[in-house]
Each structure stands twice: as structure tokens, then as C-alpha cells.
Amino acid sequence: MDEILEILEKNSRLSNEEIAVMAGKTVAEVEAAIKEYEEKNVIVGYTALINYEETEKESVTALIEVKVTPQRGEGFDKVAARIYKFPEVKACYLMSGGFDLTVIVEGKTMKEVALFVAEKLAVQESVLSCATHFVLKKYKDKGTIFEKKPVDDREAIFV
């Protein structure tokens, strides 16, 4: 992977000048590379990673294992597209193993997520079964550790 992409993935708020210094490139090279990545759909968006436990916002995240029947001639793509278009769905992945799709859903309450599964997801024509797992606490997400770093409030004693 290009070094510019790796830098942006860690911190997309860096200026092109800062990225150029870190990557050993000129600002013009960085600007051209980013423009090309965006045009080729390599860079598809810029987001902030938020620890909602430190805010007043009520938020529940669930990981849902979904078994589906793939559509003839379309495979899993058509089924996944119907699912990921719901605003509650934050991510959707095709998986190997015991189930077909992992769907990450966010809602205000567990009940809201459960209603989404019961009324919108499980009733989809191709969906065979769902298993919902609620996230109880996030420790690390997208490479970022959520735990507060302990503050050393001990006083230094000089003898």
C-alpha cells in the first residue's frame, strides 16, 4: 500500500504539507496522489472515530451474523446491497465460514436494534437466519484504543 494511504488511514486531518514531509514527497505529488485515489474510488470517504461512551448520546452497536440464499446470477451482492442501504447499517461484510454476511448496526437502544432485525432484516426474502450480538464495550476500533491512559498523579520526592 502506498505510504500516503497509510498516513491518511491513521490521521486524515493532516495537511498535504505534513503528509509530504512524512512520506518524503513534494506537496504537489501528495495532492496529485490524493486526487487520483479519490477519482479511482480508492479513498471513499473521511470519517472521525468517536467514543460515544464519553458523550451524552445513547448508542448501541450490534454485530449480526446473517445467513442468506444468494440470488441467481447476482451472488451475494444484490442481497448485501438491499441490506446495506438501510440507514441503521454502518457496515456490511461478506464472510467465509458459518454465515454469509456480517452486518454492523447502530441504534439508540437494544430494543431499536432488535426491532430493526425483526422488522427489516430478518424479513428480507433471501435471509435465512440472523444471530445478533450486542457490543457491550469497545476497547479498540480501527486501530485506536478507547481506554483512557492512566494519569500518574504521584508527586516526585527528592532526597
Claim to verify: residue 24 and residue 77 sit in the same structural domain: no
- Residue-wise pLDDT for 13-55, tens only, equals 999 999 999 999 999 999 999 999 999 999 999 888 888 778 8
Claim to verify: residue 34 and residue 60 sit in the same structural domain: no
Claim to verify: residue 62 and residue 131 sit in the same structural domain: yes
Convert the chain into a string of H (helix), E (strand) and C (coil): CCHHHHHHHHCCCCCHHHHHHHHCCCHHHHHHHHHHHHHCCCCCCCCCCCCHHHCCCCCEEEEEEEEECCECCCECHHHHHHHHCCCCEEEEEECCCCCCEEEEEEECCHHHHHHHHHHHHCCCCCEEEEEEEECCCCCEECCEECCCCCCCCCCCCCC
| Residues of the domain holding 117 | 53-137
What does pTM read for this prediction?
0.77
- Residue-wise pLDDT for 109-128, tens only, equals 999 999 999 999 999 989 99
Structural domain includes residue 158? no
Claim to verify: residue 30 and residue 74 sit in the same structural domain: no
Structural domain includes residue 104? yes
Claim to verify: residue 17 and residue 90 sit in the same structural domain: no
Q: Give the number of domains in the chain.
A: 2
